[in-house]
Amino acid sequence: MKYFKRLPGEKIYLSPINIEDVNQYTKWLNQSDILIPLGLQTLLLSLIKEKEKLESYAKSNDSYNFSIIKKDSDELLGNISLFFINQIHQEATIGLFIGEKHNRGKGYGKEAMLLILDYGFNFLNLHNIKLEVFEFNKAAISLYEKIGFKTFGIRHETHYLDNKRYNQHYMEIIKSDFTSKYIKRID
């Protein structure tokens, strides 16, 4: 079996990273429509580099890296991770992307976020989870706000793209502001 239903949702599930997906990830991470919103437009990624990265993610003890998988077809949709985890202060950073354009705007990213937040707050005992997003990524900011993230800071003109400067927003969600939808149902 290529994927494992570690965190099942309604339309998707989260599975541990599979290094056999190296070709797909390399394809996605060489596309501007994915790299620009992530602030990685200068990244040049080869199969060898991506394989090393996936192997390190699969072996990591200080981050949780999941593939986002469509439940009805086992199709790889993207990636979501909790990283920079500090167990003493109970904090982490979150990041995600959905690969193919036709899979965006269908709720897969939102469900993946809810699943991993549930995991972070209820299994990893985290208290605060943050993310960073550029001001031009309006769809992502809207999604994060719907989930319950709040902006706690803005770093001005940090990102240079196409002769323009953009602000970087820092957003967070606190455990007490999050309502568990998935993990609590197994009680």
Q: Phi then psi for 28, rounded to 5 degrees?
A: -60, -45
Which of 30-34, 73-77, 98-102 is least confident?
Answer: 30-34
Residue range 136-155: mean pLDDT, rounded = 95
The two structure tokens encoding residue 118: 């549930």
Residue range 1-10: mean pLDDT, rounded = 90
Where do the domains of the chain lie? Answer: 7-126
The structure's pTM equals 0.92
Distance between CA atoms of residues 68 and 90, nearest Å = 24
- CATH number for the domain formed by residue range(s) 7-126: 3.40.630.30
How much is the pLDDT for 1?
62
Q: What angle do CA 182, 185, 186 make, to 5 degrees?
A: 105
- Percent residues over pLDDT 70 in the chain: 97
pLDDT, tens digit (0-9, with 9 covering 90-100), for 28-65: 988 888 888 888 888 888 889 899 988 888 888 889 99
Distance between CA atoms of residues 90 and 172, nearest Å = 13
